[in-house]
Structure 1
Amino acid sequence: MRLPARWAPFLTGFFMSLFMVFIITAVLNLMSGHPSFADWVHSFVRVWPIAFVAVIVVMPLVRRVVLALTQPPLQER
């Protein structure tokens, strides 16, 4: 089953925040000196919802900034 294209921004934010928080909390947990799976899960569950909302809110601004800083693609003739 595939979702309609209108879900793309939501899914982008979902997966981007999921992978970012997964990696960052894992690295911070490993750097803590006493890594534990329970501590990592606890951190991940607490931080991911915040990151998800932040990505969804900030993504439109990021897209506008990127469009302003880049040239549009050349049209094929």
Structure 2
Amino acid sequence: MKVEHVKRFLSDLCYFSEVDITHTFSFNGIRILQVRCLTINSQHIFELTYPDSDEVDTLSDLDQAAKVIKNIISMDTPV
């Protein structure tokens, strides 16, 4: 998946940030990442949850979030 596609996906997710939507990325039936967009003080915050450890990262920059997500999902999918 190209980083531009991830950015578009994140933008769409933020468009619906008033609704509690969580997107789950999985590979071979194993959840590898869950993503939500929260709006706090009129700012979009991307919440990335790693299901295997329940660790949560928050990022406020769209470009940075897209790159992080792309790298994570690229590591878990075959070329």
Pick the TM interval, shorter chain: 0.3 to 0.5
Of structures 1 and 2, the one with the larger relative CO (CA 8 A, separation 6+) is 1
Whichever of the two has the greater Rg, that structure is: 1
Q: Tell me the TM-score normalized by structure 2.
A: 0.37
Q: Tell me the TM-score normalized by structure 1.
A: 0.38
